[in-house]
């Protein structure tokens, strides 16, 4: 199987998409899939910054260290480089479409659209809430990550 490249996208690339990146990297590794995983924000507010401390703390609960991640902004070249570009909410999807050059190879979707029975559901932005919101985010992105693993295993069988 050739290496599959996956990019998770949110607004700031400091709360949701770093957790999605972490959850998917772990799930893919557990499944023995050869993947390359990154995350990005549609906004440039937090370029070069580490994830939100609440996301770092949530990942640590799952024995994953994301403190070395750094924010970066989605760019048109990503649509040529990645096989999957997965946004978190409807607003992300609008922003992703605005950067899409139209002739890339990436499959573009909202993450929870991959989860049976969760189509159309958003991974809500936890930025304005408390730490418990980040546990909800983890559970949502973990469901999406596991669903993507299942899709990739199916595709390659
Ligand atoms: P994220 O959350 O998109 O999940 O990383 C946010 C982070 C920062 C901001 C908004 C959402 N912000 O407005 O700076």
125 catalytic per annotation = yes
Q: What is the mean pLDDT of residues 81-99?
A: 98
Instruction: List Cβ neighbours of 153 (8 Å cut-off, separation of 6 or more).
Output: 31, 33
15 catalytic per annotation = no
| 84 SS3 class | strand
Q: Which residue has 């609440």 as its token pair?
A: 54
- Looking from the CA of residue 45, the nearest atom of ligand 1 is 14
**Per-residue pLDDT tens for 30-61?**
999 999 999 999 999 999 999 999 999 999 99
- For residue 109, what is the enclosing H or E element? strand 107-110
10 catalytic per annotation = yes
Determine contact, residues 137/8, Cβ cutoff 8 Å.
no
Taking the CA atoms of the chain, what radius of gyration do you get in angstroms?
Answer: 14
Cα→Cα distances 64→40, 56, 58, 107, 117, Å? 19, 8, 9, 27, 28
| 91 SS3 class | helix
Look at ligand 1, atom 8, and give the residue with the nearest C-alpha: 12
> What pLDDT was estimated at residue 1?
54
* Arithmetic mean of pLDDT over the chain: 97
- Looking from the CA of residue 17, the nearest atom of ligand 1 is 4
**Per-residue pLDDT tens for 112-142?**
999 999 999 999 999 999 999 999 999 999 9
The number of C-alpha atoms within 13 Å of 97 and in the hemisphere containing its C-beta is 8
- Answering whether pTM is above 0.95, one says yes
Ligand 1, from 19, 45, 92: best to mutate by most atoms within 8 Å of Cβ? 45
| 108 SS3 class | strand
Ligand 1, from 51, 53, 95, 125: best to mutate by most atoms within 8 Å of Cβ? 125
**Per-residue pLDDT tens for 54-68?**
999 999 999 999 999
> Which residues are 84's β-sheet partners?
6, 107
How would residue 154 be classed by pLDDT, with cut points 50, 70 and 90?
very high
Q: Domains, the chain, ranges and CATH?
A: 4-155 (3.40.50.2300)
Q: Which residue has 């990503």 as its token pair?
A: 78
Q: Which residue has 């040529």 as its token pair?
A: 80
Largest CA distance in the chain: 42
pLDDT above 80 for 2: no
> What pLDDT was estimated at residue 155?
87
């Amino acid at each position: 199987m050739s290496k599959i490249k996956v990019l998770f996208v949110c607004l700031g690339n400091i709360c949701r998409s770093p957790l999605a990146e972490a959850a998917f990297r772990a799930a893919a590794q557990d499944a023995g899939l050869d993947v390359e995983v990154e995350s990005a924000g549609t906004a440039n507010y937090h370029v070069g910054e580490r994830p939100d401390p609440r996301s770092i703390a949530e990942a640590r609960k799952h024995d994953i260290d994301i403190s070395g991640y750094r924010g970066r902004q989605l760019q048109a070249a990503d649509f040529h480089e990645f096989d999957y570009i997965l946004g978190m909410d409807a607003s992300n999807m609008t922003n992703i479409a605005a950067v899409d050059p139209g002739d890339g190879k990436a499959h573009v979707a909202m993450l929870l659209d991959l989860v049976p029975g969760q189509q159309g559901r958003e991974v809500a932005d936890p930025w304005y809430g408390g730490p418990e919101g980040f546990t909800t985010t983890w559970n949502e992105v973990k469901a999406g990550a596991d669903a993507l693993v299942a899709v990739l295993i199916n595709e390659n069988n």
